[in-house]
Structure 1
Amino acid sequence: MTRIEESSHGFEDQLLADLKTHVVRRSEASPAARPLGARARFRHGWRLAGAFGLAAVLTAGVLAVQTMETGDQPPPTASASEIFRLAASAARQQPELTARPDQYVFTEVLATSQETPGSGPYVTGRVQLWKSAGGVAHTQRRYQSETGPDGWSELEVLRLDDPADPDRKLDAFPPPAYHGDLPTDPDELLRHLREHPVELHLPEGADEETSSEHMPYVTARSMLDGYVPPRALAALFELLAEEPGAVVVSDDVVDAAGRHGVAIRMPGVIGAHYDLVFDRDTHAYLGTRLSHLRDGKESLHSASALLRVAIVDRPGQLP
């Protein structure tokens, strides 16, 4: 395992510990809270055992109030809602990809991660992922350092972690990576998402109503790890434009690939800040940033720049 992967796992573990502590305290303070039912309890973990499958443990609404630090940056010139609407317009211009259930969604990202959250040097590498379009196979991955002498690593099969025992891997396949059956109207999409919630592992004590508060954001983070067709992606961004909680933290950030963008901070994360980054000019989706948060101080832990997405027939195949 590379250093960039090890640091990602360690940070996820710390976030999970923070989440559990927060929920336990919350449940102790609110003994009347309703427990999550079978429908709302999340089957699949988000940690696809990789560096940037999704780097943060998302809380789906059970969060403390977050502070936003922008330092000496000038105030943003557009709101999060405006950026999401512009991103929706950009999404409609993308070519549409189609996939069979037995095919794979191929993604390549340029990922930068700090070895130890809050300190230490950053390491950068390219990560290629092959995710089952229909959710009928395990994800596979390979990695190449941008600075080291080695080439691409061997393909590695990624299995979901058992939430009760992180050292144990589950046989269950991850959710489908190709989201081709989504409604293209924002209101219909919201109804669909409420009927088919993205599933997370949450400890006992989180009530169902609060856990669904930030559901659209949680769902967006999951779907952007795979492939959403243009019109459905536009509907998703339009839906987020109507949801409260997101804020623009910077209208001039540089992603891991050196592209200038706008960062929108998502609600629903404990112990960290999670940002979506959109191109500053075209407003196309570029990638994510994850910031470590301790004692009110924020430092960038990792960033991933989405380089390409394609549909292929088998793991290891390149578009």
Structure 2
Amino acid sequence: MTPVVRAEGLTKYYGKRLGLEDLTLEIKPGEIFGYLGPNGAGKTTTIRLLLDVIRPTRGTITVLGADSRDARVRGRIGYLPGELALESRDRARDYLAFLARVRGGVSAGRIGELADRLDADLSVQMRRLSKGNKQKIGLIQAFMHEPELVILDEPTTGLDPLVQQEVMAMLREVRTSGRTVLMSSHVLAEVQEVSDRVGIVRAGRLVAVENVAALRERAVRRIELHFDAPVPREAFENLPGVRELRVEGASVRCTIDGRPDALIKAAARFTVVHLVSAEPDLEEIFLTYYSEEERRHAVQEPA
């Protein structure tokens, strides 16, 4: 099966500054591929190379079985940029109608359906739209022609939670239809919710490609437990994965690497009245992952 995206040795320098180095990656048909990394890691550079907005310093790219420079490929892609500039006096409806004609014809009904799902007002001049409403227009234009490949750079920026969930539903529908999504984000929760696999990029280098379950195994969570009476510190000391332990009377605070099974079993010996589990911050997952990589390399390297 031909990959939807194939990059081999993809490298981009901006003068002397590294943007991306030696990226080798395949994205399969019918999957949602999450592309994770903090700001400046190389996510947007990768997307711009795939779209032929910029050219690589070296390396090769194929998209939908063709060279990324082939203009015919672009009509088969839906793209939402991370920074969406919609500042014209045109109303959103007219802007989308223009794009529909450029793309060979998209029905007004299809545009209206997406606008209803995202609660987007198409009668407003685009320059008067809020950041969240501009994002909705960007999403409509990315999805409306039912492209074979949807590329989204930070798709839920500025959206309220209900609309975010609708976007996740739209992504699942793309996958169900056999089409493909590349979603770049620094928000772990939304990537975990819909992605089949994730690539982790750091400082311009792809450091891992994993399924979502494997990524969650590396997660660092902050846990806070409250009991109906004071608990002994020794009941929670030396538990697998438990770090930064603080026991203060009837409360226990700590961080957990990976599975919380040992902590939950220890807490079950007492009466728990309240529990808070903070979802891991993406930076924390990266730090955990990178520290493991650095330890591995340190062991492998000769003294």
TM-score calculated relative to the size of structure 2: 0.27
- Which of structures 1 and 2 has the bigger CA Rg? 2
Bigger relative contact order, structure 1 or 2 (CA pairs below 8 A, ≥6 apart): 1
Structure number with the higher helix fraction is 2
